[in-house]
Amino acid sequence: MERTLILLKPDAVERRLCGRILTRIEDKGLKLVGAKLLKVTPELSRQHYAEHVSKPFYPQLEAFITAGPVLALCVEGPEAVRVMRELMGKTNGRDSAPGTIRGDYGLSRQMNLIHGSDSVESAAREMAIYFRPEELIDYPLSLGSWMFADDEVK
Ligand code: IDP
Ligand code: MG
């Protein structure tokens, strides 16, 4: 079972798309284990986007991600990291397939609504940035046994 860090970015909050995006995550069968509305500070942005800090587009990215609140989520499921990246679509909304979140709701490379960790290692690093361990809730879903068979989870 995997967990991944999701951010519904300031454009998603501003455009009031959080409910629709969350519905897609729930509909897929992923389980919500953490949720928090917060404002990303420049320092938090540099920590989160460490791999991009030296890139030419970083100042614009920081201005965007700190411009309003984000909804930080931690979701759990089999191969949750890859499953979420596929639900999200490609980075640029113009290149994302219809049916994906970025493909259905946007046209932008920067204002692409949602962040999802790109590997299990990134997920662990990013979850620790946004959530204290006690803010991630372990609980069984009563219909969990109807979502996938036991032998499908590594
Ligand atoms: P990802 O979110 O699909 O993993 P990354 O390449 O890791 O994409 O970029 C992180 C975020 O930085 C993107 O989601 C997008 O908001 C922003 N971004 C990426 N490339 C550019 C760019 O060339 N100009 C402006 N913003 C960008
Ligand atoms: Mg990335």
Please identify, by atom number, the ligand 1 atom nearest to the C-alpha of residue 91.
3
- pLDDT single digits (tens) 26-72: 999 999 999 999 999 999 999 999 999 999 999 999 999 999 999 99
- Quick check: is 52 catalytic? no
Q: Are 130 and 70 in contact (CB under 8 A)?
A: no
Residue 154 has pLDDT above 80, yes or no: no
Per-residue model confidence (pLDDT) at position 7: 98
How high is the mean pLDDT of the chain? 97
Using the mean position of ligand 1's atoms as its centre, give its distance from the Cα of residue 81 in Å: 17
Using the mean position of ligand 2's atoms as its centre, give its distance from the Cα of residue 118 in Å: 6
* Cβ of 118 below 6 Å from ligand 1: yes
Q: What percent of the chain has pLDDT over 70?
A: 100
Query: CATH number of the domain at 2-138, out of 3.40.50.11810, 3.10.129.10, 3.30.70.141, 3.10.20.520?
Result: 3.30.70.141
Per-residue model confidence (pLDDT) at position 34: 98
Strand partners, 86: none
Q: Identify the band that residue 140 occupies on the pLDDT scale cut at 50, 70 and 90.
A: very high
Identify the nearest ligand to the CA of 55 by its number: 1
Residues 6+ apart with CB under 8 A from 42: 62, 66
Using the mean position of ligand 2's atoms as its centre, give its distance from the Cα of residue 78 in Å: 20
